[in-house]
Amino acid sequence: MNINKKQQYLKVFFLNINIILVKNKTMNQIYKLLVIACITFSCSSDVKTPLGIEGVWERTGRVIYEGGIAVDTVPPFQSSSGIVREGFQFKFYANNYYNWVGNTVNLDSLGNDKAYGNTIHGRYEIRNDSLFEYMERGSDEWFKKGGWADNQREKKGYATYDAKIEIGSDYYQQYRINKNGKGNGELFKRIDTYTPGSNPYVGVWERTDGYYSESPTKLISKEDYFPSYLKEIDIYMMFTDNHYIHFMNAVRLDSLNNDIFRHRAAAVSYKINADTINYKLMGGTDNIMNSKVWKKGRSRYHKVSENKMVISNFLENSNPFEFMRIFKSLE
């Protein structure tokens, strides 16, 4: 966008503000225009590389584009027909990895929520003004044979999501606009930062093996720990300064060779108390959200040394024969 166009749009913006004040509209409308103005005029005429995406972000809105500019913001999970659904999405970025979890209410004719929740784990990079997310693992529906991510891998050898991106200190937006200037953007607010070294847990971790507390020298791989019918087991954790996301998926085939294991992910806030971490659930897939233990908050013993993290089971279920899980750091 050139400078003259920006000046023109600024005039329109302040004119709209005056109209709203004269007509005594709600502050929500003023806020909406302020968001649009920030999005429209935050970047200079020169392309620059956005910085500071590492941390945790919560989805707060959807931005509508017409003629190549932002013209409106609506609730984050409002459909094109105007239906607004309750929901959430949390995105974590750290050390070139990303992981998100989201869910929206989707009621059937009987009023039951059909939505299970989605999650994606992978790597990302930012080139110039664009975000590239390389999806390595995630929701079963997307990665199963014929799913969206699977089709991308068939065509390109990998699955990726790319979008234009703008990052501020407390917000970021990813958006796509077609050749006619129409499109949508996803607006997020920052809820946490990522500062390596701020505590021993900050970083990205992958589950490898573990041991029973009575036999700490006898390591058991994750494949041997879980039932033999589970294959291709992936478990990751990502800690930012005050939040954490857990991701797990595996393959469990039924008699018809269909994978019936459901992916799971949880976004939580945490507080450190000596060698124990206390968790509070923010959002997750249905199998997490419906867990009574997760709902009431959980505590775990953690210890980090030599790029490995040892984690106990949740302390309310602890016993002398506790299995201690080992995660390796992904530097």
Chain segment 111-124, per-residue pLDDT in tens: 888 889 999 999 99
The string of pLDDT tens digits covering residues 64-78 is 999 999 999 999 999
d(CA 257, CA 67): 49
* 30 has a pLDDT exceeding 60: no
DSSP letter string, 189-227: EEEEE--TTSSTT-EEEEEEEEEETT-TTS-EEHHHHS-
d(CA 200, CA 304): 6
- Beta-carbon neighbour count of residue 46 at 10 Å? 5
The answer to whether residues 239 and 273 touch, using CB atoms and an 8 Å cutoff, is no
Q: How confident is the model at residue 110 (pLDDT cuts 50, 70, 90)?
A: confident
Handedness of CA 204, 206, 207, 213 (dihedral sign): negative
The string of pLDDT tens digits covering residues 305-327 is 889 999 987 665 556 568 899 99
The answer to whether residues 37 and 7 touch, using CB atoms and an 8 Å cutoff, is no
Please state the separation of Cα 242 from the chain's center in Å: 15
* Cα-Cα end-to-end distance for the chain: 38
Mean pLDDT value across residues 239-244: 97
d(CA 33, CA 17): 8
Mean pLDDT value across residues 236-262: 95
* 143 has a pLDDT exceeding 80: yes
Mean pLDDT (the chain, rounded): 83
The string of pLDDT tens digits covering residues 272-312 is 998 889 999 999 999 999 887 777 777 888 899 889 999 98
